[in-house]
Amino acid sequence: MKPTLAALSLAAITAASTLVTGTASAADDPIVIKFSHVVAENTPKGQMALKLQELVEERMGDRVVVEVYPNSQLFGDDKVLEAMQLGDVQLAAPALSKFGRYTKKLALFDLPFLFEDLDAVDRFQQSEAGQELLSSMEKKGLIGLGYLHSGLKQFSSNEPLRVPEDAAGMKFRIMSSEVLEAQFKAVDATPLKKPFSEVFTLLQTKAIDGQESPWSNTYTKKFFEVQPYITESNHGLLDYMVVTSAEFWNGLPDDLRAELKAAIDEAVVYGNQVAREKDLEYRQKIVDSGRTEIITLTPEERAQWLQAMKPVWEEFEDEIGAELIDAAYASNRGN
Ligand code: LMR
């Protein structure tokens, strides 16, 4: 028997409505939240996303479903924020280095040698100035829901890097950040903005000489297998902002928004715990692999990197704001 026209159009409407994400398509359909990210699942961000998925399923599974897309499966960081504004993805946690098109303020977090450790980062992020930055992109339709750690970055390279002169003439992959560009130029190296998903191949084929990442990304994406040297520099920070679109977030029923925010906060706490634990674990795994020599800097050598890169602060002082830089720097205990 041939289906009637009415039956066909009903089927089309049902199919279309099940494709709608981020909104309740029918009273009983759960809201689908797509969480897109670029790293491996066994990283702080990967684990945070899975924890959120689990908490949401437990607490509001009948009303909300979180779908997690790791490893740049859905979007790379160059596209994800646009996709969010278009409603194609509802949650992401790009590196703070990747918001340059939306705000200049977050470039703060890329300043080399700004934070001495993650405790200092926590103190600043939880301060009034740090919390205000979460809403710095609202006019552009993006809402920051919280910060998430990855960790302090190390340099890796084809040649040993002990002093800034060793980096001169080398090509380094960077995230899409003007501060990071200036940081490498300050040591006469050539920075290249490339997507995270391309880094391994660029290193393997020697199209670039080095990169900078926390231990978890260097380990889980196997950069250490194609980089004979890692300099334990802890010279900069890779942290994330969990973001959503204002349209999606403000369109949620109040009770659900509150429950979801609580679950996100809890998942972030978990992710931050993973960041601290995995940092040491992954460092050790790289040491145990025997594939990469880890270079420990003497205080004098580290001071040379700081001296070479610190002028970058002044270069970006007007854009970021001197007060903000001072507030962030003041969160270090060593001052
Ligand atoms: C990078 O591009 O190196 C990082 O932003 C990847 C990530 O999300 O940790």
Query: For 258-296, what is each residue's pLDDT tens digit?
Result: 999 999 999 999 999 999 999 999 999 999 999 999 999
The more confident residue out of 142 and 16 is: 142
- Which residue type, as a one-letter code, is found at position 313? W
- Average confidence (pLDDT) over 125-151: 97
pLDDT of residue 28: 76
Q: What is the mean pLDDT of residues 139-168?
A: 98
- What's the gap in Å between 121 CA and the centre of ligand 1? 18
User: Any residues with CB less than 8 A from the CB of 72 and at least 6 apart, and which?
Assistant: 38, 195, 196, 197
Pocket test for ligand 1, best of 36, 39, 193 (most atoms within 8 A of CB): 39
Backbone torsions φ then ψ of 276, nearest 5 degrees: -70, -40
**What confidence tier does 16 reach under pLDDT thresholds 50, 70, 90?**
very low
CA dist 224 and 221 (Å) reads: 8
What pLDDT score was predicted for residue 15? 40
- Yes or no: say if 44 and 216 are a contact pair by the CB < 8 Å rule: yes
Q: Which atom of ligand 1 is nearest to the CA of 93?
A: 8
Token pair 């740049």 is at which residue?
72
For the chain, give the percent of residues with pLDDT over 90.
90
pLDDT on residue 97: 98
Q: Give residue 155's pLDDT.
A: 98
Q: What gap in Å lies between CA 128 and CA 315, rounded to an integer?
A: 25
**Residues 144, 267: contact at Cβ < 8 Å?**
no
Give the residue carrying structure tokens 């040591």. Answer: 187
Stretch 179-200: mean pLDDT, rounded?
98
pLDDT at 10: 40
State the distance from the centre of ligand 1 to the C-alpha of 119, rounded, in angstroms: 21
Under the banding of pLDDT at 50, 70 and 90, the label for residue 7 is: very low
Nearest residue (CA) to ligand 1, atom 2: 196
Indicate the length of the chain as a whole number. 335
Residue 157 has pLDDT above 70, yes or no: yes
DSSP state for residue 45 in the 8-state scheme:
H
Give yes or no for residue 26 having a pLDDT over 80.
Answer: no
Q: Is residue 11 pLDDT above 60, yes or no? A: no
Label residue 22 by pLDDT band (50, 70, 90): low
How confident is the model at residue 204, as a pLDDT? 98
* Partners of 91 in beta bridges: 35
